[in-house]
Amino acid sequence: MFKIKNDPSKITKIMLLLSIFLLCLWMLMGTFTTVSWFTDKTRTKVNSFVIGDVSLEVNHKVDKENGNFEYEKVDSFTKLFDDEALYEPGYTQVVYLQIKNVGDVDFDYRLAVNQSDAVLGFNQEGKAIYLPDYLKYGVVFGKNESVINRTIARASAENNMSLADLAFNSFAGQRYSLKPGDIEYAAIIVYMPETVGNTANYRGDARPSVTLGITVLASQAGTIDRL
């Protein structure tokens, strides 16, 4: 019969090595967790697509160089609007979209301009300026690009109250339908009316701002109201 003897020095060494191993493992995990956390924060979603039983593609017109425009696909992170725009009475932004049915069933869709991350400013009287309250948006749809230019879009929004009074996060007018293979175009305008006065003229370091994107709601024909 054998008898196992306790060796305090060996136990101490084993415990020390185990402690060092666990410390290194903890530091390694902590490092990777920090890197992942920062990586997850590099992009912010500005566009939303709610789709049911259809295949939808949305593209936007981009000035590639010297007035040569091409359409590029829009995803949740695409910056359609200029975040650095300095709005003043009469200032207008226009975004041109191409909406395609790339599936094999008819679908209905609706479109809205959404806003988020609004920063308050203050005017010379010390009253808060919430920029979305002073902006309007409108959408003009067409089967070809010739009917959605900047001038037509702005005039339509000014003359059509259903467009001129659209609030952010509300859908533009009725639903629109596309058959498989069909393409439709849209011009979205966001502008500050000329009637806005000094109440929206900020003072101080806090510049009123807002992040704008789009929401596209689409579903198989006849079912969009269920979404």
User: Is 30 in a helix, a strand, or coil?
Assistant: helix
Alpha-carbon torsion 82, 192, 48, 96, what sign?
negative
Take residue 163 and report the two structure tokens written for it: 């467009």
3-state helix, strand, coil in the chain (%, to 5): 25, 35, 35
How far is Cα 196 from Cα 25, in angstroms, rounded to an integer? Answer: 60
Rg (CA), the chain: 27
180 φ/ψ angles, rounded to the nearest 5 degrees: -50, 130
Beta bridge partners of 215: 48, 112
pLDDT at 125: 87
116 φ/ψ angles, rounded to the nearest 5 degrees: -155, 170
pTM for this predicted structure: 0.71
How far is Cα 162 from Cα 151, in angstroms, rounded to an integer? Answer: 18
pLDDT at 30: 42
Residues lower than pLDDT 50 in the chain: 1-4, 25-26, 28-42, 161-162
How far is Cα 157 from Cα 38, in angstroms, rounded to an integer? Answer: 42
pLDDT at 33: 34
